[in-house]
Structure 1
Amino acid sequence: MPEKVTHPELLRLAAAFNWRLPSTSTVTPTESAYSDEHMRERAELDRSSWWYQTRNRIILNALQILPRDFALWDIGCGTGVVIEALTKDGRTVIGLEPSAAGADIAASFGQTVLPMTLESLGLPNQSIQAVSLFDVLEHIADRQALLREIRRVLMPDGYLVITVPAMTWLWSSFDEDERHHLRYTKRTLSAELSASGFNVRKSGYFFLFTVPPLLLLRALPHKFGWHTALTDTTAVGARGGTTGHLLAKIEAALSMRTPLGSSLLAISQPE
């Protein structure tokens, strides 16, 4: 049996549903939102930026609602930075990443990541326990198709955990460069989830303190036609330092309890 099929979640599906992992040679390649070169450049940033590390802390706190024995499928997992944190926390996680470079990078950190999409797996109905989309949904053109597929494969008591960029008035050239289709509010994300057969159990904004710099240095210049290059590596506190670490602690403490933020997290279950 190939090494990747020894993952406990894949073994569970094989035993319970007689399901087999498709060969990557039979799967039609799917374009990733990011190039392989971009993925390689992001590998170090993902593991050093205070933004990613703080988001990991917020995600870990939010996931306490999930039973500890639930396996999580992280769709569009990139270089595996969230999987790494969840695995260290004792969670069973498997990643899906259409970028071959992203999947290879995640594997180099010891994570199980399949270079496939959810649709290509042909999973049985109501067969998996939890799915995550961490800053993925905004990249998808046909979001309802993906959400309906997640709804199909989730168990009735399963969970869908999502993070997305928030506040439509923070839209900027950064969103365009990142190939985002939109930024969300609690209302618009809830409406998308409801239309796909999900009930939102909990939702809330986070990254309150990033709103002022993003508004002043990204959104307002974009509104007036100025293209700025405030990237992840140049954003406030991007690589930590005393200020970054202090802000990280405050953001984690306030997460999902503030009236606004540059990111939004929602936890939902099938209706």
Structure 2
Amino acid sequence: MSAEQDTAFSEAQYLQIYPDGVEHHFWHRARGAILLRYVGRYRAEPLLEIGAGRGLVLAAFRRRGWQAEGVELSITSPRWPDLPIRYGEDAFALPQEERARYCAVGLFDVLEHLPDRVAFLRELRSRFPALRYLYLTVPSPPDLWSNYDVFCGHYLRYDIPTLKEELTLAGYRVLEVRYFFHSLYWVMWAVLRFKGHRSEAIPAPRGLAKLWHRGLGSFFVWESALLPPTWRGTSLLAIAQPLFT
């Protein structure tokens, strides 16, 4: 099985939802900060991000001092050319001695693209023998399914029971799972309820809009720390540990 079966975006798709400057968007600002807050409790290095895309998450980890690298099946232009991302490569096809180096793997909005997620997670566990932690984010919940998910090639949007079930069936112990972007859930619910669809493009903020996005990103970071993790949000974060037999 390919490590990124059916996850490869075209260059046009990447530039539509990850244009240059999108790192200033509140969603990316907040997601990076929230990830680092919770994943930092289970820090293991080196980290391999599978499905690294243009490198937005990888850059956030490296700015925080993580020893982190990425691999991406697609051929696209990295946001920062000096990031250690190997494009056009399958993580499962890396040399065995290299796969044995990694103590953590990140799958950030990747799992939902796969038709057989349990089989993929099982193979991940077997291909990375030194794996201590798996870090994941996925879109949620199912009632926010929209044209955007179709455009992105998603098979599903998750809820907590579904994500925990897939990880457990694949041979992992779930250490932590939580929703985030809680308030955004209600915004997206209203958009889909009254418009019936959402935009398939994510514009990069420019000029003074960056200040607004900075503030909004900070709001969502604080929200994730203050609200219960089981309250619905538009994203789910999970940290899991492989059970080797």
TM over 0.5: yes
Q: Which has the higher helix share?
A: 1
Instruction: Tell me the CA shift for residue 148 of structure 1.
Output: 1.2
Q: Which runs of 5+ in 1 are unaligned?
A: 1-26
Match of 1:65 among 6, 22, 41: 41
Instruction: Tell me the CA shift for residue 232 of structure 1.
Output: 2.8
The aligned residue for residue 240 of structure 2 is: 268
The alignment status of 1:178 with 2:152, answered yes or no, reads yes
Check the 8 A contact 1:129/1:158 in 2, yes or no: yes
Cα 1:64–1:233 shift into 2, 3 Å: same
- Identity score, percent: 29
- How does 1:184-263 map onto structure 2 within 5 Å? 184-218=158-192, 221-222=195-196, 227-229=197-199, 231-233=201-203, 240-242=210-212, 244-255=213-224, 257-258=228-229, 259-263=231-235
Cα 1:195–1:30 shift into 2, 3 Å: closer
Instruction: Tell me the CA shift for residue 55 of structure 1.
Output: 0.4
The aligned residue for residue 10 of structure 2 is: 35
Cα 1:45–1:142 shift into 2, 3 Å: farther
The aligned residue for residue 16 of structure 1 is: none
Match of 2:122 among 144, 148, 151: 148
Q: Secondary structure at the match of 1:94?
A: strand
Deviations 1:33-84 (A, max 9, x none): 311223244241432211011100011111212336x111001011001111
Q: Secondary structure at the match of 2:132?
A: strand
The aligned residue for residue 114 of structure 1 is: 86
RMSD of equivalent CA atoms: 2.6
The aligned residue for residue 105 of structure 1 is: 78
Q: Secondary structure at the match of 1:111?
A: coil
Instruction: Tell me the CA shift for residue 123 of structure 1.
Output: 3.0
How many residues matched?
232
Q: Which moved more, 1:205-214 or 1:114-123?
A: 114-123
TM-score if structure 1 supplies the norm length?
0.77
Check the 8 A contact 2:172/2:241 in 1, yes or no: yes
Alpha-carbon distance in structure 1 between the residues aligned to 2:224 and 2:92: 32
Alpha-carbon distance in structure 1 between the residues aligned to 2:62 and 2:138: 22
The aligned residue for residue 134 of structure 2 is: 160
Match of 1:96 among 37, 51, 71: 71
* Moved >6 Å (runs of 4+): none
Cα 1:85–1:165 shift into 2, 3 Å: same
Rg bigger for which structure? 1
Instruction: Tell me the CA shift for residue 209 of structure 1.
Output: 1.6
Instruction: Tell me the CA shift for residue 107 of structure 1.
Output: 5.7
Give the partner amino acid of 1:90.
G
Deviations 1:66-122 (A, max 9, x none): 336x11100101100111111111101110111111xx41561x1111121222225
The alignment status of 1:83 with 2:83, answered yes or no, reads no
Instruction: Tell me the CA shift for residue 219 of structure 1.
Output: 5.3
Check the 8 A contact 1:205/1:260 in 2, yes or no: yes
Check the 8 A contact 1:158/1:269 in 2, yes or no: yes
Deviations 1:225-249 (A, max 9, x none): xx443643399xxx5443x333322
Q: Which runs of 5+ in 2 are unaligned?
A: none
